[in-house]
Amino acid sequence: MNHPSRWRRVLKILLFLLIIDGTLLALAEAAAYVFSPTYYRKVASAQKLSAAKPDHLKRIFVFGESTIDGFPYPAENNTAHWLQIVLTDVLPTGIEAQVVNFGKPARCAIHLRQALEHTLAYKPDLVILCLGHNEFLARSLSLSQNPTHRWWYLHSNLYRGLSDVVTNFRSRRMEKTGIAPGGGIPADGPLHQDVAKQFGEEVDQMVVACQKAKVPILLCIPGSNLVCRPAFSQGVDLHADRRRQRDGLIEEANAKLLRGEQADAEIEQALQMDPHWALTHYWKGRNALLAGDRSLAREAMQAARDWDALPFRCQSPLQSQLKTISQKRQVPLIDFPSVFQSQQDAPPGSDWFVDSCHPRPWGQHLMAVAMAKALVENRLLGESASWRWSNLPDFERCMSQMKSPASAWSGPERRALLTLMVNSPEVAWDLAQRPPVLWPAEDKEWQTLKTLSLWMCGRKEEALKLASECLIPDERTADWPDQVKQAWTEFREASRSKHLVQSRRP
């Protein structure tokens, strides 16, 4: 008899809790808005964009992801700062530039569209947009998959338990929409196509917003390191025996190529069994480089990037979207993959990138120069006749204006090299070919790690020939990963043994 009143009491309590919950969330949102403003509001405040702009000043807003933000180097490594240095020397006399960095790590097209729409009110003279690496991050997928779910998704992080429930729910949903078990996103699946389409729509909206505000815009396709292993391979559905056979072939090709031996037969057989396995295309590219066929290497490495099921590099479908929008909206476009490719015959690698997509300082300078050239060629800041293009600063001149110490530049590359030595020693060897900027010539650690990369690839005789250049105190190895320390111990023992044998010869 008392059941109805009991349920009413429970409903009242639940309603009260919901009201309290909603109030707390609203207060949290208000506090975050005031005390932790969005990154573009912080940038606008720091750059004093609300102040009146003098006639001789040109404001350029550069939007992008961590590659534009300059990660993992010092904050001044951002692309906007490199462009600022270049433009200071080449702009016409009497004109100054204020290049504002709106790059932010782990942001995708949706985030950057919001940032752009909220900053056009500051009346920039030009917007530069470079993005495409982050569309398949978990946060990006959550937003692009269902933007109306955004509020619930973000606010659930205030409640760890609810966050776990939402995460599990989203995992089940994504399996239905094409995400493979283990987190892979097949390049030929429906979710991949949906994300590429969503990316194109977001970028198109950004271009339209700029055109409505009568602000010129320059689109950029981000460059990436083609000569690095794909993050995740998700191939065709093979029977267990065939899968083991494929994996065995790839392991054999891996071992051969690390030693500097050709592996044509193993690679071709593995590709026939599974043409979608990204790692096989990667080793095909390595095999082609070893054979001196750089065109085939570039083609294979691009396939490895495009079949990567956990991509952190802008893949061909997203690049095509940017090219289509450029043509459709009649806006200029910089194809950075082609810019990097123009510097060498081989696929762009670790001489330009510290990892899969983040440019080393030389890469940032190359991008800044390409941007400056695009401004001149497309008259994006007015007539180009009076530009002082003969004053174009080279890399050393630009680098001399950076204030960070040498350790701030070498530290990220040293950490990257140590990680690669464990996971991809052949890529570590690539990276080690070009020491960090400002690296002291007398410091032997980089040469030691370079030699150990050879050793860990299995090219031991070649490494032992360089043993005399590997003289560093033990304290320099304190933070090395255990696998690298073990390789160092083995290398030194082998070096001593070889020296003893040679010294005993008559």
pLDDT tens readout for residues 416-431:
999 999 999 999 999 9
Question: By C-alpha distance, which of 232, 320, 244, 217 is closest to 282?
Answer: 232
The pLDDT tens digits for 394-416 are 999 999 999 999 999 999 999 99
Q: Which residues fall within 8 angstroms of residue 77, CB to CB, at 6 or more apart?
A: 70, 361, 364, 402, 404
**Which residues lie across from 102 on neighbouring strands?**
63
Q: Is it the case that residue 467 has pLDDT exceeding 80?
A: yes
For residue 58 the two structure tokens come to 């040109």
pLDDT computed for residue 19 by the predictor: 77
Predicted local distance difference test score (pLDDT) of residue 173: 45
- Residue 4 pLDDT class (50, 70, 90 cuts): low
99/303 Cα distance (integer angstroms): 36
Q: How far apart are CA 235 and CA 278, in angstroms?
A: 8
Helices 278-291 + 294-307 axis angle, to 10: 170
Task: Tell me the one-letter amino acid at 374.
Answer: A
pTM of the predicted model as reported, rounded to 2 decimal places: 0.85
Reduce the DSSP state of residue 404 to 3 states and report it: coil
pLDDT in tens, 136-173: 876 666 554 444 444 444 444 444 444 444 444 444 44
Q: Give the range among 159-168, 291-300, 430-439 with minimum mean pLDDT.
A: 159-168
Buried b / exposed e over 145-163, threshold 16 CB at 10 Å, is: beeeeeeebebbeeeeeee
pLDDT score recorded for residue 387: 87
Place 22 in a pLDDT band, splitting at 50, 70 and 90: low
Q: Say yes or no to pLDDT of 472 above 90.
A: no
**pLDDT at position 441 over 70:** yes
Give 87-93's long-range contacts (Cβ < 8 A, gap of 24+).
87/60, 87/372, 87/375, 89/388, 89/391, 89/392, 89/393, 89/397, 90/372, 90/387, 90/388, 90/389, 90/391, 90/392, 91/58, 91/381, 91/387, 91/388, 92/386, 92/387, 92/388, 93/386, 93/388
Confidence of residue 503 (pLDDT cuts 50, 70, 90): very low
Give the pLDDT score at 184: 74
What's residue 328's pLDDT?
A: 97
- pLDDT tens string 64-122: 999 999 999 999 999 999 999 999 999 998 899 999 999 999 888 988 999 999 999 99
Q: How far apart are CA 398 and CA 408, in angstroms?
A: 16
State phi, psi for 57 to the nearest 5 degrees: -100, 130
Which run of H or E residues covers position 128? strand 126-130
Nearest to 87 by CA among 46, 43, 128, 115: 128
Query: What band does 237 get if pLDDT is binned at 50, 70 and 90?
Result: confident
Q: What percent of the chain has pLDDT over 90?
A: 66
**Are 83 and 62 within 8 A, CB to CB?**
yes
DSSP structural state of residue 112: H
Q: What pLDDT does residue 178 have?
A: 39
Mean per-residue pLDDT over the chain, rounded: 86
If phi > 0 it is left, if psi is from -120 to 50 it is alpha, else beta; for residue 440 that is beta
Question: Given the DSSP bridges, would you call strands 217-221 and 57-64 parallel, antiparallel or unpaired?
Answer: unpaired
